[in-house]
Amino acid sequence: MGRIYTVHLAPTAITVAADLVELTPADDKPICIHGFRVWQTTDLGDAAEEVIGLAFVRGNTSTGSGGNTSVAVTPKNPSDAAAGLTCETANTTAASGGTAATTYSTGWNVRSPLEVVFTPEQRIYCTQATLLVLRMLGAPADSLTIGCSVDIEEF
């Protein structure tokens, strides 16, 4: 078993179909996703209800832009070494290039937080030279302050 890390997107105003989290595995250190959480803090009540598609997309080779670079990758065990992977959050221009494949998709009703924990058979893997992103499949109807965290195993 590898080491487990968390990447966190602090609540951020989002107005476009953003890549919430972009992960780039280090050379010879594959990763897999154990689970993720996403929530918003601004649209409350029935009138503001909407469903936004979310997907993990693997295979892009060019990083996105417009977000937070050099995001901390925090070990769950404080005795673990620093992660080799790198991360960006809230990219407003999506990662591109390569052969992208959607490995998981769902709809998120923004009225309530969404938490997904993958069984071992459902976990999403990624290796060096490709990116793995948690992507919004559509823009919100209006600005949403979205937070997110992803649990990652690095081998």
HSE-CB at 55 with a 13 A cutoff on CA atoms is 13
Q: Look up the domain containing 122 and give its range.
A: 3-154
Contact (Cβ atoms closer than 8 angstroms) between residue 83 and residue 7: no
Which pLDDT belongs to residue 1? 80
Residue 14: name the closest of 141, 150, 152, 155 by CA: 141
Residue 52 maps to which CATH number?
2.60.120
| DSSP string computed for 50-104 | -EEEEEEEE---B--BSSB-S--EEESSTTSPPPS-EEEEEESB--BSS--EEEE
Enter the pTM of the model. 0.95
Written as tens digits, the pLDDT of the chain (155 aa) is 899 999 999 999 999 999 999 999 999 999 999 999 999 999 887 777 899 999 999 999 999 999 999 899 999 999 999 999 999 999 999 999 999 999 999 999 999 999 999 999 999 999 998 999 999 999 999 999 999 999 999 99
Q: How many domains does the chain have?
A: 1
Instruction: Note the pLDDT tens digit of each residue in 54-94.
Output: 999 999 999 999 999 989 999 999 999 999 999 999 999 99
Which pLDDT belongs to residue 48? 76
